[in-house]
Structures are given as structure tokens and as C-alpha cells.
A and B are shown apart, each in its own frame.
Chain A
Amino acid sequence: MRRYGWFLGLIFILALILPQVLGEFWVHVAVEILILGIFAVSFNMIFGYMGQLSFGHAAYYGVGAYITGMLMVKASVPLPICLALSMIGAGICALIIGYFCVRLTGIYFAILTMAFGQLIYYIIFKWYSFTRGDDGLQGIIAPPLLFSANAYYYFTLLIAAAALIVMWFISESPFGYTMRAIRDNADRTRFIGINVRKYMLINFVVAGMFAGLAGALWGPFNRSIAPDLCNWHQSGTPVFMTVIGGPFGFLGPMIGSVIYTFLMAFVTGFTEYWPLTIGLVIIFVVLFLPGGVLGFFESRMKGFRSNASKPEETIP
């Protein structure tokens, strides 16, 4: 990954130039790509690095969105403080739910995370007096400085870059490698002196916090939020993105977000058959690119550099 530094720098510069050449519609799409990208990368901290499928990750996304939305609408709290509080709130939520979920693995983990996700959804949906239920929350307006599409794009880009850098550092840290160890062989990890459940819980909370951050960015962008942000459809989104982009590289889910979100914006422009389209894309990826798009390119590059002395940089 480190060797791609210049490449990532190039992409970042491109991202800076983007709004100058794109129309407003595509700038909005780019914001969506960034927000869902943070969401998907945080999901992959649990899926790719810890080896468990969380099917309720939208709960933290939605909690983050509601904390920021409600604080802005009801109390006019400044956006940066809202973002921080969303991360904390989503983290606490993940701590309580994760406490139960990390006791299980595999399909049971997936089912339980999904059940808790639906629980959060129904609380927001039914608690009309507090959350305004399925009416949702309108009028979440970004501060004047960030009001234009371009300004909000740059703001999101900054936050996304910072979030990705922090998550990247975590993934390369001893903690990140402990997650890979737990994924590969949780039993063995106990016998090198690691309290596996505790570590899984910490990771679950960190992933929840970043999902909360992504959700927090959504409200001021969309100017409204609804309970659907917590629903299981929304939990499926990062799963699809990760499968498409590739779960075995840090940026796989981000690439998945680019493909998924761009495709959705493009396809829904002229047909209503978006679910059919994405279904076909996923079938294609699963059958022909089992490591996702990133996995495919990495294996191709390995082929080009077959005389390289070192094998490809760590498969997480």
C-alpha cells in the first residue's frame, strides 16, 4: 500500500479539481461517494479485518445521522461539534450492542447485529414525539460557509481523507494486525495472550464511531433524514460496496462506493431497473472477480511485476 502513495496523492489532487469541471449533480454524487465510502470502509473493519459480517451497520450510521440532525435542527449546535457527538453517540450505541454480538461469530453474529439494527430502526420509527418517526427530520441546513455544493464537497473530502487516514493507521497498527489474527484464527489468538472478545468489542465500537461520522455528514448534505437510514437495506449497502470493491485491501470498500454510487446515479437517470442492474453487477463480481475490483487489479499487477523480490504488500 505504501508504494501507492504517489498514486493516492494523484487521486486526492484529482478529487480537489473535480468540482471545477463537473456539474452540480455530479458534485452531489461525489459527496455521496465519500460519505458512503467512509461508511463502507468502517464496515470492512469488521468484515475484512475481523472476519465477521455485520448486517446491522446502518444502526450506527443512522444514530450518527439523527444525533447531528436533531442537534442542528432543535438546538442549532455547530456542525463540527455535532460530528464529534455523533461519533461518540454511535460509539456508545455500538458498545452496548457489540457487548452481546461479540459473544457470537459467523451467521449468529450476522443475525444478531441485524436484529439489533432493526431494533434501533423501530425505536427511531416509533418514537414519534422525539424523532418525528417516519416523517423524518427536515431542514438540516449546513452552515452558510458550507452551503454551496462545492463547499460541502470540500468539507466532506477533508473529513473523509482524515477518517480514512486514521482508519488506515489503525489497520496497520498492532491492533489492526491483532484483528487479522482474530479473523484468521481466533482460538490461536487466545493462546498468545489476547482477550479476543475485548478486542472484538473495541473494534466494533471504533467501526461504529466511523459509521456514525458518515451518517452525521449525510443530514446536512441531504437536508433531511428519515428512519430508513437505519433500515436493513442501508446495512446491505456497505456489504455490496465491499464485495464489489474487494474486502482484502484497505481501499476496496471505497472503490466499491465509487462504482456503486456512480452506477446508481448513472443508471437511475434512464431506467427504473437499478436493483436489477446492481444485482447483475454483483453476480458478475462474485463469479469472475472473487477478490473484488481491487483484488483483481492487485493480482494483475503482481503478474506484471513477477520478478519483484517481495510478494504483494500484506493481504489483510
Chain B
Amino acid sequence: MAEEVILKVEKLNKAFGGLKATNNISYKMTTGEISAIIGPNGAGKSTFFNLLTGYHSVDSGNIFFKGINITNWPPYRITRLGIARAFQVSNIYPRLTTYENVRQAILSQQKKTLDFFTPAHRLAKKETQELLEITGLSQQSDITAGNLSQGDKKRLELAIALGSKPDLVFLDEPTAGMSGEETHETMELVKRLNEEIGLTILFTEHDMSVVFGYARRLTVLHQGTVIAEGTPEEVRTNEEAQRVYLGEET
């Protein structure tokens, strides 16, 4: 497949009061890539995601997705264009069932949410079942989502993101709060999605074994600035990256 740029970020700046949360970040992703952004707490990872998905407004800089300038678009339009995200703290519909949570994302993707008269339970059955199957939530489908375990909530978070049928997905610490086994399962799923349907994935993670095991390219953020970028091997041996972040691990 030709190297096709799906996401291009140019000199992105955002300050909260006097704090520069992102400082001139430029970034690029090609279709089908699976990459990670790492950095200590407060490095600007979540802010970066928030800027890319329209949650925060951008101070200066540009974001291009599939060649379209999406800077400062509202989140719902960015989502409709093909970017989805899974949040760090699971961000689900606590009073709907697991099934209804996933169906909601699918109905929205199918542009059926302005339908007033077809009972929702008749729609998107197959797609919802499939997605629950893939994410390993079939057993939990009738459980009210607020009552799910932490790990299952994170899985549901991922399922909702996938329900939008994105081309590019941001996963903010997708395995936070999961057991070792759940972490492995989730990341294998992420890897499969990347390999089988060519989903472009950008994730953040604190667990270094996950980062080095699954990302093909790493970017290290520190105080809102990119301080290192490259393959896992290159970053591992990068002195500055070691000093600010990786060094803490050992």
C-alpha cells in the first residue's frame, strides 16, 4: 500500500492560562499505522487528543485529516469524518445496557438517530452483536453499563469508539485499570483491527511493555513538546527520552 498521509498536524499550540499544554507540535500519520505517544503525566498527551478531536479549541496551528482542514471543527463533525476516540477514564452511558451503549454508536454512524418512529430494538441488531462479540462483551450485553467491572467498562469504551466505524482511532490508555490478562486480550484485539481492517491507531499508554510490544512508532512528549520520535528501538536508545521518562521505569 502506498504511504498515504491520513493525519497531518502542523505547529499545534494550546495554552491554559500560562501553561503551554502543547508547544508547536507537528505530527504525521500514514494510513494503517499503529503508533503510540508516551510521556510523563501532564506531558500533554490527553490535551493533544482533545485538540485533534475538537474537544478543546486550538490556539494556533492546523490539523488535516484525509487532506481536509478540520482545525476547530466541533467533535461531532470530526467523528462523522472518521476519527473516533476511546477515553482514558471510561466514558460510557451508565444507565443504558451494554448492548444499548454499542447500538447507540452504531445508530449514530448509520445516521439513523433522527428516526422517530422505528423501534430502536429492531435496528442495527447484527452490527451490534458483531461488535460485542469482537470486543468480548457478548456475555454482558444485558447488563446496565454502570454496573460493569472496570475492565469491561474499558472494553465497552473501545467498542463505542469502534461503533463509529472510524478510519483513525485514538486510544487514551486503553488498558488502564485492566488485569494483565485483559490488557493482553485488548491489545491483541487492537493489533488485529490494525492488521485485518487496516484501522489507523494512535494510543497512549503508561505500561512500557504494551508500548514497546505493539507500537511501530513512538513519539515522546515532555511539557507539551516532542522530544523524540522514531521506532521503539530508536526511542529506547534516545538519551533525552531516557532522561525524562524511560529512566524512571528502571
- 8 Å CB contact of B113 from A174, A184, A185: A174
Q: State how many angstroms separate the Cβ of A217 from the closest Cβ of chain B.
A: 23
Q: Do B93 and A192 touch (CB < 8 A)? A: no
CB-contacts of B64-113 with A (<8 A)? 74-77, 79-80, 84-85, 87, 91-97, 100, 103-105, 107-109, 112-113
Q: Please report the number of residue pairs spanning A and B whose Cβ atoms sit closer than 8 angstroms.
A: 107
CB-contacts of B154-170 with A (<8 A)? 160, 163-164
Please measure, in the bound complex, the distance between the C-alpha atom of A166 and the C-alpha atom of B91, giving whole angstroms. 32
Name the interface size band of chain B: 35 or more
Please tell me which stretch of A110-118, A194-202, A230-238 contacts chain B, meaning at least 4 of its Cβ atoms lie within 8 angstroms of it.
A194-202
Q: State how many angstroms separate the Cβ of B168 from the closest Cβ of chain A.
A: 13
Q: Do A190 and B108 touch (CB < 8 A)? A: no
Q: Do A178 and B92 touch (CB < 8 A)? A: no
- Closest partner residue, chain B, to A182 (CB atom): B93
Q: Can you spell out 16 A-B residue pairs with CB atoms less than 8 angstroms apart?
A: A170-B117, A175-B114, A180-B93, A180-B96, A181-B96, A185-B94, A191-B53, A192-B79, A192-B108, A192-B109, A192-B163, A193-B76, A193-B80, A193-B108, A194-B108, A196-B76
Q: Known pairs A172-B120, A190-B75. 16 more at Cβ < 8 A?
A: A169-B117, A175-B116, A177-B96, A177-B103, A178-B108, A180-B95, A183-B95, A185-B93, A190-B74, A191-B84, A192-B108, A193-B76, A194-B76, A195-B74, A202-B114, A310-B142
Q: State how many angstroms separate the Cβ of B158 from the closest Cβ of chain A.
A: 13
CB-contacts of B137-152 with A (<8 A)? 142-144
Please measure, in the bound complex, the distance between the C-alpha atom of A176 and the C-alpha atom of B119, giving whole angstroms. 9
A187 at the interface (CB under 8 A from B): yes
Please measure, in the bound complex, the distance between the C-alpha atom of A190 and the C-alpha atom of B56, giving whole angstroms. 13
* B residues less than 8 Å from A177 (CB atoms): 96, 100, 103-104, 107, 113, 120
Q: Do A174 and B115 touch (CB < 8 A)? A: yes
A307 at the interface (CB under 8 A from B): no
Please measure, in the bound complex, the distance between the C-alpha atom of A177 and the C-alpha atom of B102, giving whole angstroms. 12
Q: Do B104 and A191 touch (CB < 8 A)? A: no
Given A174-B112, A192-B104, A194-B113, are A315 and B163 neighbors across the interface (CB < 8 Å)? Answer: no
A302 at the interface (CB under 8 A from B): no
* B residues less than 8 Å from A174 (CB atoms): 107, 112-115, 118, 120, 123
A314 at the interface (CB under 8 A from B): yes
Q: State how many angstroms separate the Cβ of B211 from the closest Cβ of chain A.
A: 24
* A residues less than 8 Å from B53 (CB atoms): 191
- Closest partner residue, chain A, to B86 (CB atom): A191
Q: Do A173 and B117 touch (CB < 8 A)? A: yes
B126 at the interface (CB under 8 A from A): no
* A residues less than 8 Å from B123 (CB atoms): 174
B121 at the interface (CB under 8 A from A): yes
* B residues less than 8 Å from A315 (CB atoms): 95, 144
* B residues less than 8 Å from A300 (CB atoms): none
Interface string of A184-220 (1 = CB under 8 A from B): 1101111111111001001000000000000000000
Pairs of residues from A and B, 8 with the lowest C-beta to C-beta distance, nearest first: A193-B79, A184-B93, A190-B75, A192-B105, A178-B113, A193-B80, A192-B108, A174-B107
Please measure, in the bound complex, the distance between the C-alpha atom of A289 and the C-alpha atom of B118, giving whole angstroms. 33
Most chain B beta-carbon contacts within 10 A, residue among A176, A178, A181, A199 = A181
Q: State how many angstroms separate the Cβ of A138 from the closest Cβ of chain B.
A: 38
Q: Do A190 and B91 touch (CB < 8 A)? A: no
- Closest partner residue, chain A, to B80 (CB atom): A193
A311 at the interface (CB under 8 A from B): yes
